[in-house]
Amino acid sequence: MERVRTVGLLGGGVIGAGWAARCALNGRDVVVCDPDPEAERKIGEVLENARRALSRLTLAPLRPAGRIRIVREIEAAAEGADFIQESLPEQEALKTALLARADRAARPEIVIASSTSGLLPSRLQAAMAHPERFVVGHPFNPVYLMPLVEICGGARTSEATTDRAAAFYRSLGMHPLRLRKEIDGFIADRLMEALWRESLWLVHDDVATAAEIDDAIRFGPGLRWAFMGTFLIYRIAGGEAGMRHFMAQFGPALKWPWTKLMEVPELDDALLGKIVEQSDAQAGSASIRGLERLRDDCLVAILQGLRAQDFAGGSVLKAYEEALYAEASGGRPAAPDLAQPLRLHETRVEPGWIDYNGHMTESRYLQVVGYATDALFRLVGVDAAYQAAGLGYYTVETHLVHRREVAVGEAIHVTTQVLGADEKRIHLFHSLWRTEDGTLLATAEQMQLHVDAKASRACPARADIQAALARLVAAQHHLPRPREAGRKIALAPLAG
C-alpha cells in the first residue's frame, strides 16, 4: 500500500492512546484530536509503557519513533493525515457526526477507520460524503501489544478500502481479521460478552468471587485459548475421531440449563457494590499503571513463547520482526567492511534483563550475541525462505567470558569475527562492548553447525552461503586471533 507517514487519531483515551503509541513506535507521525487538558500527560504515560513493552518484546531494529502532537479540532487531525483512526466514546450519534466532519476535512482517497467495539459500520458511514472509504478497525487493549484487529466494512465500503486498511494494520505488526458479514459486536466481543454475562451471574448468585472467576480462566482454558482458540482445542478433545466424536459426546449438554446467556442480572447498587468491592480486593495496592506493566510483561512472555513455535500470535510477531530487519537493511543484508570485525547488532540493556544486583543476567548475554549471530546469517544469505525449508545453523558450543558488569540502561553493541568456516561449520568470536566508552564487557566463542532440521542431521550449507562465508574468512584472515579464543576453564595453582 501507499506509505502512511501521518496518522490522524480522533480521540486519545485508552484506545486512542494505544493507537498513538503503536503508530509512533512504528515510525509514523501522529496527530491526536482530544479536548482533555490532561491528554498529553496520559498519552505520554501510555507511550512510555508501550516503549518499555516493545523493547522487551523484540530486539529487532525498531523504526525511528514518530512525533505525537495534540490538537483540539477534528479538522486539524484529519486535514494532513494519510490514515485516520477514530476512537471516540461508544455513542453512535457522536461518532457519526464527528466522522462526517473528518470526512469533509480529509483528502478523499484517505481511509477513515473506527475503533468501535460493536456499532455497525453502515450506520456510522451514513452521513459521510465518501462512505466508500470508511471501515471498522476494531483493536484490543493494549493496542500497542495485542495483534488482533477486526476489520468490518459497511454496506457502502469498497473492497479497496478494506484491503488498504488491512495492509496498514499489518505494517504495524498486527493481525487483521476480516469479517465476512456486518454484525453487531463483530466476533471477539460477542464471544467475550457471553463469558462476561455468565461471570456476572456467578458473582450475583454468590457462586464465585471476581478473583475466583479470573482464576478459573487464567489457570485453565485461558492458557489454551492463547494459541488454539476454541474449535481446535475441542477437536483435540475428540481424540482420533476428531470434532464429530466431540460433538456427539458433548453436544447434548448444550441443551442442559447450565447458562443464563439470554439474560443479564440487574445491575443494581447491590451487585455493582459487590463487584467493585471484590475487584478492589483482587487488585490490592497495585496501581493502574502497575497493572498495565504486569499485563504487558505477561503478554510479552506469551508472545515470545509462541514465537518460538511460529504459531498463533507468535507467527505475527515473527513476521513483524522479519519486516523490521528487512526494512532496516533496505530489504537486503547490510554491507559492512568485511575486513574488520562486523558490527551487526546494537541495543540497550532493558530493566527486565537485570538480576537482583542490577546487572545483566547471563541469559541476556547469550541472547544479545545470538542476535548478532542471526545478523551474520542474514548477511551470508540465510533468509526466512531458507529457514522455512528446514535448513539453518545451530549453536553446538559456546564459551562465554565475562569481563565487566553491565548495568541497566547502558547502550551496548557486538562485533563479530569469523575465525573459520567449512561446508558444515562456522567458528565465530563475538565481543560485547559498552558503546559509550568502548569498554570490552564480555566475549563469546561459538561453533555453529549447519543442519537439515527435517532430516535431523548435519549437512553442507548451500553453495552460495559457503562462498559468502569463504569470502568473509578470507577478508578477515589478517585480523589477529582474539586472545580468549580457544580458552579452556581450569584452576590455576594457588601461590604458596
The CATH number for 95's domain is 3.40.50.720
Chain-centre distance of CA 476, in angstroms? 37
The CATH number for 357's domain is 3.10.129.10
**In 349-424, beta strands by DSSP E:** 391-402, 411-421
Q: Are residues 45 and 175 in the same domain?
A: yes
Q: Are residues 182 and 204 in the same domain?
A: no
**Of 254, 284, 314, which marks where a domain is finished?**
284
Grid coordinates representing 148 are 488482533
Predicted confidence at residue 335, as pLDDT, reads: 64
Out of 98-102, 211-215, 282-286, 332-336, least confident range: 332-336
Predicted confidence at residue 242, as pLDDT, reads: 85
- Gap between the Cα atoms of 276 and 453, Å rounded: 53
| Predicted confidence (pLDDT) at residue 236 exceeds the cutoff of 90 | no
Q: Are residues 180 and 229 in the same domain?
A: no
Our CA angle for 73, 77, 83, nearest 5°, is 150
Q: Are residues 355 and 260 in the same domain?
A: no
| 430 touches 374 (CB < 8 A) | no
| Percent of the chain at pLDDT exceeding 90 | 67
**Within 58-158, where are the H helices?**
74-78, 92-105, 121-124
- Gap between the Cα atoms of 134 and 111, Å rounded: 6
Q: Are residues 123 and 10 in the same domain?
A: yes
| Domain residue limits at 83 | 6-186
Please give the helix or strand (H or E) that residue 71 lies within, else none. Answer: strand 68-71
- Gap between the Cα atoms of 417 and 282, Å rounded: 53
Number of structural domains (the chain) is 3
| 393 touches 446 (CB < 8 A) | no
| Predicted confidence (pLDDT) at residue 334 exceeds the cutoff of 60 | no
**Cβ contacts of residue 468 below 8 Å, gap of 6+?**
379, 380, 381
- Gap between the Cα atoms of 118 and 186, Å rounded: 6
Q: Within a domain: residue 316?
A: no
Q: Are residues 267 and 217 in the same domain?
A: yes
The pTM assigned to this predicted structure is 0.74
Q: Within a domain: residue 307?
A: no
Q: Within a domain: residue 314?
A: no
Q: Within a domain: residue 326?
A: no
Predicted confidence at residue 333, as pLDDT, reads: 47
In the numeric block, the cell 541472547 is attached to 367
Across 122-139, average pLDDT: 97
| Predicted confidence (pLDDT) at residue 332 exceeds the cutoff of 60 | no
Read off the pLDDT of residues 82-114 as tens digits, 9 standing for 90 and up.
999 999 999 999 999 999 999 999 999 999 999
Q: Are residues 348 and 241 in the same domain?
A: no
**Of 249, 284, 319, which marks where a domain is finished?**
284
Q: Within a domain: residue 299?
A: no
- Gap between the Cα atoms of 286 and 291, Å rounded: 6
Q: Are residues 349 and 417 in the same domain?
A: yes
Q: Are residues 63 and 203 in the same domain?
A: no
pLDDT band, very low/low/confident/very high, at 184 (cuts 50, 70, 90): very high
Read off the pLDDT of residues 283-316 as tens digits, 9 standing for 90 and up.
899 888 888 988 998 898 899 888 878 899 999 9
Most confident of 120-124, 317-321, 492-496: 120-124
| 50 touches 23 (CB < 8 A) | no
Q: Are residues 169 and 271 in the same domain?
A: no
Q: Within a domain: residue 263?
A: yes
- Gap between the Cα atoms of 42 and 51, Å rounded: 14
Across 374-392, average pLDDT: 91
Could you give the dihedral angle defined by the CA atoms of residues 162, 165, 167 and 172, in that order, rounded to the nearest 10 degrees? -150
Q: Are residues 126 and 200 in the same domain?
A: no
Backbone angles phi, psi at 461, to 5 degrees: -70, 165
| 297 touches 291 (CB < 8 A) | no
**Of 163, 186, 209, which marks where a domain is finished?**
186
In the numeric block, the cell 458433548 is attached to 250
Predicted confidence at residue 465, as pLDDT, reads: 96
Q: Are residues 18 and 125 in the same domain?
A: yes
